[in-house]
A and B are shown apart, each in its own frame.
Chain A
Amino acid sequence: MIDLLNFHIIPGLVLGSIYALGAIGVSLVFGILRFANFAHGDTMTLGTYITYTFIHLTPLYGIVALPLALLIAVPAAMIATGLIVLIIDRLFYRPFRNSPVIIVVIASFGMMLMIRSSIEMIWGPQLKAMITGIQPPWFFFDTIRVLPKHVAILIAALVLMGIIHYLLSHTKIGKAMRAMADSPDLARVTGIDTERVVKATWMIGTALAVAAGVFLALDGQMKPLMGFSVLLAVFASAILGGIGRPYGAMAGGLVIGVAEELSTYPWIGDGPLLSPGYKAGVSFAIMVAMLIWRPNGLFKGKVF
């Protein structure tokens, strides 16, 4: 029974919070710009590689431990990646603001290829490790076994979600974002600067994507396809939570992450319920089922 907690639920929560951070960005962009951004996964990857670069640039690296280097490098990477995404938006998405939605989706297809290949050209296609060496796990009550990096990821994800909650509910720009997600025309009539809201959306979504990517790299390895490989799980989380609902996306991410890990637990007999090779398929299956039977998600999101 303790194996269930140690090897399935805790890793599931970690994976789930990574999905949740990615899904908030997808959900915000969908709510405000009204399109499914297929390049979001590759934005995660880009942010991770930029963070990696910053860590190696930080003069502190080697003097201070990795956690402090990350605390400096990640926010810097969030800003840098955010600026890149703003340039991308200006060049490749903004020309289509008044075009049919589908054109922007296809443009984000192209962006996905461009970001990914740029990463492969600049940093190379090989695997890299954000941290090296093996961490000994912490034990609680002699039975509960947790990796320190997992604790750090969970705490950091919670803090980030708290900040997002504050931004959306207590700041002017956050309220403007919610207003625009509810009704773009009404928002424009009340004098909201929609392009400013769009910029804020990209910055916030990208910042969370960078965090998600870095956590993913800490949990495993860095490779140019890491973001794309979780893209569908991130979409699944956003859809499960109700698209355009950032809080739903948080819940959706956790559900999908835990469901993926639980699918390999030996519920019946000795072998895993589902072969680990199909783990990624769990989120797609949940997503397709949701799209068909409850397209507005668990939390009554939008159906456009």
Chain B
Amino acid sequence: MEQLYGYFLYSLSLLTFGGIYAILCLGLNIQWGFTGLFNAGVAGFFAIGAYVSAILTAPESPRHLGGYDLPIPVGVFIAMVVCVPVAWAIGRVCIRLRSDYLAIATLGIAEIIRLVFKNELWATNGARGVSFVPKPFEAWDSPWDQIAMALVVLVIVALLYIAIELARTSPWGRLMAAIREDEPAALAAGKNVERFRLEAFVIGAVVMALGGAMMAHYIKFVDPKMAEPLKATFLVWVMLIAGGSGNNKGAILGAMLLWFIWSITETIAPIIIPDSFAHVVYPFHLVASWFLPEAWMATPIAPDPVTGLDSWDSKAPFLRVFLIGLALQIVLQKFSSGILPEQRLQSLADTDDASARAARSSPS
């Protein structure tokens, strides 16, 4: 019974984290899936949302800016509002760049945002982060607070899904698709392409900030590590590509699925896998040990001298990153449109798919 209850709580946390990632994926889907903007700075907007909401709602502390004690919904709302001018300014200067230049620029800007949060000690407490961020329904009894939190996140995902789906089929959404598929034609039709791309960029960024704020309130803590690109940018990209970019259902499915895989390989693998994993890797290790001096190769038997962990346990998290990378490659090569491919709008459905995809990457 005890154990079952533990599994129940674990699956609630899976749903909540998966839901937060689904929010990020939906934000990225507005930018990349609909409009074709290659934003590699998801982590930046995620961090802005997390930090702003955390600082506004956390109790007063001499270590960082704060003591505003605002209610959580107000903090989340302001975090989204703060993201508007930031994303607008970033978009204003970067939006004209071609796809991979835009990726490099946004990745750089996200790193600058992370450096700001890490170095402005007076406001953010630097690398030690902001703790005691309030969590909704904290006062409730044990399973109910978790259930309520998961429900709140899932309701937000559902509302976002409805809103974005409405936007997608509205004239605005059709224009986004038009810009992505054939920008010169959209220009020739007299549309202010740059303004609409900027709108999509800002709206997507605000959704990411919402995801960041929810994360801060869920885990009750923010630190600059949250803005590191691996978990906040690259993982979101893999989720969207795997789920099916351009498809909102795909974005949510990809986020949930990839988060389940990501989390389960972390939590369960070390419990059930060590032996079997060691059997899989052992032949490689044996071959490697013929060539490599014993002194610096982590052996399967001895614990790692630095981390003190059994070395296979300590390697499992890296295997997981490897598998995520491999999954991305397989999806790109074999299922390039993801699990749920984009449902093309009627007016675009009869255009030649190949030429449309080529147009997506053509220079602006």
* B318 engages A105 (CB within 8 Å): no
Q: How far is the CB of A62 from chain B (nearest CB, A)?
A: 12
Known contacts being A102-B99, A121-B315, is A232 close to B107, with CB within 8 Å? Answer: yes
Q: Is B15 an interface residue (CB 8 A)?
A: no
B185 within 8 A of A: no
Contact indicator A106/B237 (Cβ below 8 Å): yes
Q: A113-B234, A277-B118 known; A102 and B360 CB under 8 Å?
A: yes
Q: A100-B361, A292-B94 are in contact. Are A56 and B328 (CB under 8 A)?
A: no
Chain A residues whose C-beta falls within 8 Å of the C-beta of B328 in the assembled complex: 106-107, 109-110, 113
B296 within 8 A of A: yes
User: A6 interface residue, CB < 8 Å from B?
Assistant: no
Q: Are A287 and B325 in contact (CB under 8 A)?
A: no
Cα–Cα, bound, A228→B296 (Å): 23
How far is it, in angstroms, between the C-alpha of A285 and the C-alpha of B93 when the chains are bound?
A: 12
CB distance from A88 to the nearest CB of B (A): 10
Q: How far is the CA of A232 from the CA of B111 in the complex (A)?
A: 9
If A111-B325, A117-B322, A121-B318 touch, whether A105 touches B306 (CB-CB below 8 Å) is no
Q: Name the B residues within 8 Å of A95 (CB-CB).
A: 333
Q: Which of B77-85, B142-150, B256-264, B287-295 makes up part of the contact surface? A: B287-295
- Closest B-chain residue to A35, C-beta based? B100
In the bound complex, how far is the Cα of B314 from the Cα of A228, in angstroms?
A: 21
- Chain B, Cβ-Cβ closest to A291: B105
Q: Is the CB of B108 within 8 A of A100?
A: no
Cβ of B98: which chain A residues have Cβ within 8 Å of it? Answer: 303-304
Tell me, yes or no, whether A163 is within 8 Å of chain B by CB: no
The A interface, classified by DSSP as helix, strand, loop or mixed, is helix
Known contacts A100-B357, A103-B332, A110 near B326 by CB under 8 Å: yes
Task: Tell yes or no: A275 within 8 A of B by CB.
Answer: yes
Contact with B along A205-244 (1 / 0, CB 8 A): 0000000000000000000000000001001100100000
**With an 8 A cutoff between CB atoms, is B187 at the interface?**
no
Docked complex Cα distance between A219 and B176 (Å): 48
Which residues of the other chain, A, contact B99 by a CB distance below 8 angstroms? Answer: 101-102, 105
Q: Mark A94-132, 1 if CB is under 8 A from B, else 0.
A: 011000111101110111111011101111111010000
Q: How large, as a class, is the contact surface on chain A?
A: 35 or more
CB of A46 within 8 Å of the partner chain: no
Q: Considering the chains assembled together, what is the distance between the CA atoms of A26 and B97 in angstroms?
A: 18
Q: Does B103 interact with chain A (Cβ within 8 Å)?
A: yes
Determine if A288 and B358 form an interchain contact, defined as CB atoms under 8 angstroms apart: no
Contact with A along B234-260 (1 / 0, CB 8 A): 100110010000000000000000000
- Set of chain B residues within 8 Å of A292, measured between Cβ atoms: 93-94
A284 interface hit (Cβ, 8 Å): yes
Chain B residue with minimal CB distance to A287? Answer: B108
6 smallest A-B Cβ distances: which pairs? A100-B361, A113-B325, A284-B108, A110-B328, A114-B325, A277-B119
A-B contact pairs, 23 of them (CB 8 A): A36-B101, A56-B295, A96-B332, A100-B357, A101-B99, A105-B100, A106-B237, A106-B332, A107-B328, A111-B329, A112-B325, A123-B296, A124-B304, A124-B311, A232-B107, A277-B119, A278-B115, A281-B112, A284-B108, A284-B109, A287-B104, A288-B93, A291-B97
Given contacts A36-B100, A106-B237, A280-B115, 18 further A-B contacts (CB under 8 A): A36-B104, A56-B293, A57-B291, A101-B100, A102-B360, A105-B99, A107-B332, A112-B325, A113-B325, A117-B320, A117-B321, A122-B288, A126-B304, A126-B306, A235-B104, A277-B118, A278-B119, A281-B112
Measuring CB to CB, which residues of chain A are less than 8 angstroms from any residue of chain B? 35-36, 38, 53, 56-57, 92, 95-96, 100-103, 105-107, 109-114, 116-118, 120-126, 128, 232, 235-236, 239, 275, 277-278, 280-281, 284-285, 287-288, 291-292, 295, 303-304
